[in-house]
Amino acid sequence: MKISVLPSLDTRRILANGKYPVKLRVYFNRADKRYDMGISLSKDEFDHLHTNKKLQPTWLKISSKIEKADKIIEFLDENFSFAEFEKRFFSPVQVAVKSDLNIINQINRYIEVLKNEGSIKTQEMYKATIRHLKDYLQSDSLSLEKVTIEFLKGFENYLRGRELASSTIGMDMRNIRRVFNIAISEKIISADLYPFGRNRYSPPASRKAKKALSLEDIKKLYDYEPIHPTEQWAKDMWFFSYSANGMNVKDIALLKYENIQGDEISFIREKTKNSTRSNQMVIQILMNDELKKIIAKQGNKKRLPKNYIFNILKEPTNQLQVFKDVNQAIKTINFHMKRIAQHLQLSRVPTTNFARHSFSTVLKRAGVSIEMISEQLGHSSIKTTQIYLDSFEKEQRKEIGKHLFAFKEN
């Protein structure tokens, strides 16, 4: 099967500008069709298209159309038809080569974006999705056009058969959805083929396990006397997170003395820094007595603005090293908090995640509004409410901080 394309001047009719339309002529199975390219030339201009420098921009436009046609022909291959060619040739969707339409390649492309952004942990999640897809497909290739509702349901059932957690399955499906959305935005594939959404396929949601400690257990942790410096450091980092709006360990590690402005710590969560939103939420934390004590005890003694407050990160601080150092810090904190919990005979192990959940839950139990807690956590989940709610005043934030160590008053 031979298919060829050539630009031709359609001299059958003259246009109002005295020129003729330039058409793309496609030859297939001894038949041919002409497709308008929105370009017009005189006979002399068409004859000197390659030699007249003034016509170079026009030739580039024609070349671009020929290249698009070649890609469509390559993609359609044995399924070529004039009708299918015409539909794709005049579509605003970018013509993709077969490698672009492979979902595995698309996920790998997005992993490169995440790598450049320094999102190491998220990269690993997308790599896991690739592994699961390859296991299911027994192949390295799947066209985006074949990611249908039926395919997604089959893939989900396969993952459930492997007894993976709903949270893991949901993550895989959301990763596929994200890549599909990117492909549509880049006009690699038509939005008509989108398999997600209402009355289509929805990724499974999982109920997150509650990770909040009671105020009684937090008091036991607070009163506990560590037996060595590393255990003391782990306890202090846990309580720093708890006192600092449930700040995660990566944000703690990256805190610098310049983030302390007057009697507040001001920072933007690393998790949201790569967001496309123009107005990043700045979180402000009042420096209560507990934070001051922990910084005085565990903080870098050289309080220069550019110095990290805590010595968690090693040099050089490239993204991969930050990822490794933060992970090591989390492991160390969790290891010692587990031993403390065993010593205190607590029913739950207060990992670093518990500090954030406990911060929000203690305030909720104390009657603090969900809107205010949401702002303190740096969440955007109550979007509608926060559109018309002003930021909370410092005195209000000061008041809610008292609840965190209410047990000291007993």
- Asked if 249 and 211 count as a contact pair (C-beta separation under 8 A), the reply is no
- In whole angstroms, give the CA distance from residue 224 to residue 343: 9
The closest of 401, 396, 406, 357 to 379, measured between CA atoms, is: 357
Tokens 């090591």 belong to residue: 328
Q: 20-29, 121-130, 357-366, 386-395: lowest mean pLDDT where?
A: 386-395
Task: Give me the amino acid identity at 259.
Answer: N
pTM of the model: 0.58
Please report the pLDDT score of residue 167 as a whole number: 86
Which of 56-60, 94-98, 213-217, 294-298 holds the top average pLDDT?
294-298
Q: Using a pLDDT cut of 90, give the percent of the chain over it.
A: 49
Higher pLDDT, 223 or 79: 223
- Asked if 159 and 175 count as a contact pair (C-beta separation under 8 A), the reply is no
pLDDT tens-digit map of 8-19:
999 998 999 999
Phi, psi dihedral angles at 36 (to 5 degrees): -65, 140
- Asked if 253 and 352 count as a contact pair (C-beta separation under 8 A), the reply is no
How high is the mean pLDDT of the chain?
Answer: 84
- In whole angstroms, give the CA distance from residue 184 to residue 94: 9
Total count of residues recorded for the chain = 410
**For residues 179-206, average pLDDT:** 86
Q: Using a pLDDT cut of 70, give the percent of the chain over it.
A: 84
Q: 176-185, 206-215, 238-247: lowest mean pLDDT where?
A: 206-215
**Does residue 379 register a pLDDT over 60?**
no
